[in-house]
Chain A
């Protein structure tokens, strides 16, 4: 379980924003096996929060516990990083090696895992993300979505319990975006990996079990995707999108029609409209 208790953070002095809190009193509990999406506009603090999950940043106030291990305890740093795998936005800038399988092996090599075990993990991780066939390829010749899947495999090779993805699809085209999301969903559903997905794409957040909405360093809304999306007006005022299906229902309601507002998928939306006409 991941527990965040009254977490505050501000960037070290010397920076312009020294006095404003980037994170301001955050409390979260994430259960094993959960798929949590964190949404918020740029500067809402969502990336800063992500960096607290594996001890890249340490709390200025409050605590972050990973399976009851305190991230502020330097002695536990590598164990925490092993348990919480982190995938970043730019697929190019997280691949270290010149061959796919060598890159996936990077983390277990760092952890001093025995060579036969590394081999086993690398093969497993590459199969889990569907990149086993490309294991001998040079990463720079892969597509964006493929690179990002290699990056996910590189994290899986640590056998983590949690995967944090910080806007992993922001730089990808629709095909790459789908590849990455399918991979993430598969890991959550089949491998029971706990997933924390930071994103500003609402259609991605719609896949999660729970959505946290961040604004000004606080969590200002949370619930199932439906519970969050129906608050379309509040989301819009925070500079966030709502799925078009919900936007349409809001427009109809505003025009005086009696419709349900929680139609996340196109099917639900069409069904609701059929009731009207």
Chain B
């Protein structure tokens, strides 16, 4: 779906403000994956994902979306942006229409679809994010915080992308709003959407992603299954990242000599492992 080869991006090259945002990034995101991208602020996450939909162009290296080179002179950028739906941080700050319906319709109408198709896209997208139909005729500014966020995400989904890339989608939401949104995103993934989730909430990533790419100072520091990455707590810590609290507890137990497998990073997994250990200890 998305492939990068030796991707580098330099901001303001040749000026005193020259900044190497990302360097030598090669990765391949397959159809149907749920990939988490983590890294602290300034690690190049935002720059990287803006290459996925051709908002930024490589300084060197290549980005392919469905096999199409985004920097090829004939590349249809609008088609690429339709295929890779990118949701920025605080997407509700881009509302501009008087009703939620019209705002969600902005994307599909830019594709010059028929009125009927647009309406269909809007309803479908609203349903995907769990927005009640009666909210569609309200002003987007009158929605609650969580609803605003979901309506804004629907605005990208309405273009029927094959990949959904979200930059910090839960930032600023309260726990209820966050859980609702994450559940919806997981559902979309189960229904076949490829998802790339950028977040510095390790708990969010642990709950959703199958694979994690860790960025540090513009380079890929780790790329592997969620279990693999979270079992490297010390390395993550050195990069200024944290692991979910459960992983910390498990690491403490390992230090005490308890044998615990790598793949334990959610409460549920931890519960099962501990009960197993308990049963073993009390049988003897």
Contact = CB atoms under 8 A, between A and B. Distances in A.
Interface of A: 41-43, 143-144, 170-171, 173-176, 200, 239-241, 243-245, 247-248, 251-252, 255, 257, 266-267, 269-270, 273-274, 276-277
B249 A270 contact: yes
A220 to B, nearest CB: 16
Contacts of B145: 42
B256 A41 contact: no
A41 B176 contact: yes
Contacts of B177: 42
Contacts of A248: 246, 249, 267, 270-271, 274
Contacts of B200: 173-174
B240 interface: yes
Contacts of A42: 144-146, 173-174, 176-177
Interface residues of B, number: 36
Given A200-B175, A255-B275, 17 more contacts: A41-B175, A42-B144, A42-B145, A174-B240, A175-B41, A200-B174, A244-B249, A248-B249, A248-B274, A251-B268, A252-B275, A266-B248, A267-B252, A269-B249, A274-B256, A276-B278, A277-B278
A241 B175 contact: yes
A173 to B, nearest CB: 5
Nearest to A245: B245
A41 B275 CA distance: 33
Interface in B247-284: 248-249, 252-253, 256, 258, 267-268, 270-271, 274-275, 277-278, 280-281
Contacts, number: 92
B242 A174 contact: yes
9 contacts: A42-B145, A170-B171, A174-B241, A175-B40, A200-B175, A239-B174, A252-B275, A255-B275, A267-B252
B271 A252 contact: yes
Contacts of B174: 41-42, 200, 239
Interface of B: 40-41, 144-146, 171-177, 200, 203, 240-242, 244-246, 248-249, 252-253, 256, 258, 267-268, 270-271, 274-275, 277-278, 280-281
A16 B176 CA distance: 23
A162 B40 CA distance: 32
Q: Determine which residue in B177, B241, B242, B275 has the highest number of CB atoms from chain A within 10 A of its CB, and name it.
A: B275
A273 B249 contact: yes
B275 to A, nearest CB: 6
B274 A277 contact: yes
Q: Determine which residue in B177, B246, B249, B267 has the highest number of CB atoms from chain A within 10 A of its CB, and name it.
A: B249
A267 B246 CA distance: 11
Q: Determine which residue in B174, B200, B252, B281 has the highest number of CB atoms from chain A within 10 A of its CB, and name it.
A: B174
A88 B173 CA distance: 16
Nearest to B255: A270
B258 A277 contact: yes
Contacts of B41: 143-144, 173, 175-176
Contact of A277 (B203, B245, B246, B281): B281
B43 to A, nearest CB: 10
B252 A266 contact: yes
A270 B253 contact: yes
The 3 closest A-B CB pairs, nearest first, are A239-B176, A270-B252, A244-B245
B256 A270 contact: yes
A96 to B, nearest CB: 22
Contacts of A270: 249, 252-253, 256
Nearest to B171: A171
Contacts of B240: 174-175
